Chain A
Amino acid sequence: MRRTCRLLTLLIVFAALMAWGAPPTSPQDQSQPDQSQQSQEKSDKDQQKKKKKGGGFFGGLKAVAGESSEQQEVTATAGSKTVGEGEQIGSAQPTAADRRAVSAMESYAIPEKDVKKFQDEGQLKPKQ
Chain B
Amino acid sequence: MSTTTETSQQSPRPQRSAASGNTLKAGQLPSWSRAATLAGSLAVSAVIFLVAGWNWVPVLLVAALLFLVAHSAWTFAVEGRRHGQDAFWGTVVWMAFLLALIPLVSIVWTVVANGAPTLVRPGFLTHDMAGVTGVQDRLAQRGGDLAGGIQHALVGSLLITLAATVISVPIGLLTSIWLVEYSRGSWLSRTITFLVDVMTGIPSIVAGLFAAGIMMVFFEWQSGGISGGRQTMGITAAIALSVLMIPVVVRTTEEMLRVVPNELREASYALGIRKWRTIFKVVIPTAISGIASGVTLAIARVIGETAPILVTAGVATGTNWNLFHGWMMTLPVYIYRQLVNPTAPAAPDPSTARAWGAALVLIIVVMGLNLLARVIARRFAPKTLGR
To the question of whether A and B form a pair in one complex, the answer is: no
Show the binding face of A for B, using Cβ within 8 Å: none
Q: Which residues of B are interface residues toward A (Cβ below 8 A)? A: none
